[in-house]
Amino acid sequence: MATTTTPPAAPKLNRLGLPQADYRGSKTTLCAGCGHNAISERIVDACFEMGVDPVHFLKLSGIGCSSKTPAYFVGRSFGFNSVHGRMPSVATGAVLANRSMHALGVSGDGDTASIGLGQFIHLMRRNLRLVYIIEDNGVYGLTKGQFSATADIGSVQKSGVVNEMPPLDTCSLAILSGATFVARSFSGDKKQLLTILKAALAHNGTVMIDVISPCVTFNDHEGSTKSYKYVLDHEEALQEVSFVPYYEDIAIDYDPGTTADVEMHDGSHLRLRKLAHDFDPSNAQQALKVLGEAHTSGEVLTGVFYIDTKKPNFVQQLDLVDEPLAFLPLDQVRPPRSVLDEVMASLA
């Protein structure tokens, strides 16, 4: 055994005083190189950097390779692996029960765009405070490679089967359904994905991020429009995204002519520097238009398409007490005897 002379460097701690190790989870069981693993790593980074408190963080998922991943990040937090396509409802109940929680849900394109489409759309309508991530690979990974509803027309399966059905665009659907933060990124784009995730954690409503996440086992070949190669060749970023959390100095210069600055409800700032498009992220119609155009041209357009920081979230709409419902004591949830007497008298 070699003798060690220097002690290991003290790990870097975040603003809660926690090391990044506290944001890791158990070891992944997904295929090596699966895009989903990279997304888990970015979630670890984002939660660490944002100083997310694991005690007040929840991870939820549906069913699929993607939905297994909550076990692989923020191991100190509670997690719930629910049923196929129905995570939104479980998350809704969970957040209603305890409004102090930061919830993050992971879904797949099969989980969201087919079996879970109904719940997905209603989640967007309600604006529950939840970061909803679709790990989008165009196929059903866990059931071995069938096309999903986000697969592009003409996309070819390894076996040669060609997809004839038009894809559903989850970003457009989310915007149409009333979502208040809609973005698309790529599992291979570390910087953009991390920045969007950090902004997502600061958002006071539903965040829908469609992350193109190649399935190396079933959908990474020639002819697939969700392969690493295809996405690298066709990715076009709508903006250069940067994020300044509320607890950091925001006095970084930016040019209002080229950059949209979005102040988020906690005082954080999301900055979107325009690239090719002259784009206003508060304009849903414009977002739908560029998404449609990108679809026609075969581009993989990434960035933040739409953000509305004003709409109240679901808990605010329901006008709930500040304390989590789950922790209300008996005397706050069982009306006094006089109430029962009053009701009984009205029925006598």
Partner 1 sequence: MSSSGTLLTSAASSVSTATLLNDFSLQVATVNGSGSQSSNLVLLRTLFQMGIPISGKNLFPSNIAGLPTWYTIRASKHGYVARKKEIDFLVALNAETAREDVLALEPGASVLYDEPLALAKLRADLTYYSLPFDKLVTPVCPQAKLRKLVRNMIYVGAVAHLVGMEMPEVERALQRQFAKKKKAADLNWGAIQAGYDYAREHYPQPDRCQLRRMQATQGKIVIEGNAAAALGCMFAGVTVLAWYPITPSSSLCEFLIDYLKKYRRTADGKATFAAVQAEDELSACGMVLGASWMGARAMTSTSGPGISLMSEFVGLGYYAEIPAVIFDVQRVGPSTGLPTRTAQGDVAFAAWLSHGDTRHIVLLPGTVEECYELGLAAFDLAERFQTPVFVLSDLDLAMNHWMADPFRYPEKPWDRGKILSADDLQRLQGDWGRYRDVDGDGISYRTIPGNEHAMASYFARGSGHNERGLYSEKPDDYTHNVDRLRRKWEGAREIVPQPVLEHEGKGEIGIIAYGSSHPAVMESLDQLRAEYGIEPSYLRLRAYPFAGAIAGFVRRHARVYVIDQNRDGQMHDLLLTDLGAELGARLHSIRHYNGLPVDARSLTDALRSQEHQTN
Ligand X SMILES: Cc1ncc(C[n+]2csc(CCOP(=O)(O)OP(=O)(O)O)c2C)c(N)n1
Which residues in this chain contact ligand SF4 in the complex, by CB under 6 A? 30-31, 34, 36, 65, 137, 141-142, 215-218
Q: Is 142 an interacting residue with respect to ligand X (CB under 6 A)?
A: yes
In the stretch 80-99, what mask flags binding to partner 1 with x, by CB under 8 A? xxxx--xxxxxxxxxxxxx-
Closest CA to 210 of 224, 229, 240, 189: 189
Q: Of 65 and 95, which CB lies nearer to ligand X in the complex structure?
A: 65
CB of 232 or CB of 343, closer to partner 1: 343
Whose structure tokens read 């325009």? 274
Compose the 8-27 pattern: x for residues touching partner 1 by CB under 8 A, - for all others. Answer: ------------------x-
And the tokens for 71?
A: 């076990």
Give the CA diameter of the chain. Answer: 87
Structure tokens at 128: 């529950």
Task: Return the number of the residue (116 or 205) whose C-beta is nearest ligand X.
Answer: 116
- By a kind-dependent CB cut-off of 5 to 8 A, residue 100 interacts, out of ligand X, partner 1, ligand SF4, none, with partner 1
Site for ligand X in 214-273 (CB under 6 A): 215
- Give the residue at shortest CB distance from ligand SF4: 141
91 binds, among partner 1, ligand X, ligand SF4, none (CB under 5 to 8 A by kind): partner 1
Of 16, 232, 252, 326, the residue at the interface with partner 1 (CB under 8 A) is 326
Helix (H) or strand (E) holding 314: helix 314-317
Work out whether 157 is an interface residue with ligand X (CB under 6 A). no
Q: Where do runs of H (alpha helix) occur along 84-169? A: 87-97, 109-110, 117-126
Cβ neighbours for 237, distance < 8 A, ≥ 6 positions apart: 189, 192, 275, 301, 302, 303
Q: What distance in Å separates the CA atoms of residue 273 and residue 278, rounded to the nearest whole number? A: 10
Within residues 275-334, the interface with ligand X by CB under 6 A covers none
78 binds partner 1 (CB under 8 A): yes
Strand blocks (E) in 141-228:
146-147, 181-186, 206-212
Tokens of 138: 């165009």
* Cα gap 295→280, rounded to integer Å: 19
Degrees, nearest 5: CA angle 95-96-98 = 65
Which of partner 1, ligand X, ligand SF4, none does residue 223 bind (CB under 5 to 8 Å by kind)? none
Answer yes or no whether residue 158 interacts with ligand X by CB under 6 A.
no
Number of residue whose CB is nearest ligand X? 108
**Whole-angstrom distance, CA of residue 147 vs CA of residue 155:** 9
Residues that bind partner 1 in the complex, under the rule CB under 8 A: 26, 54-56, 58, 60, 70-71, 75-83, 86-98, 100-101, 118-119, 122, 315, 318-322, 324-328, 330, 332-335, 337, 339-340, 343-344, 347-348
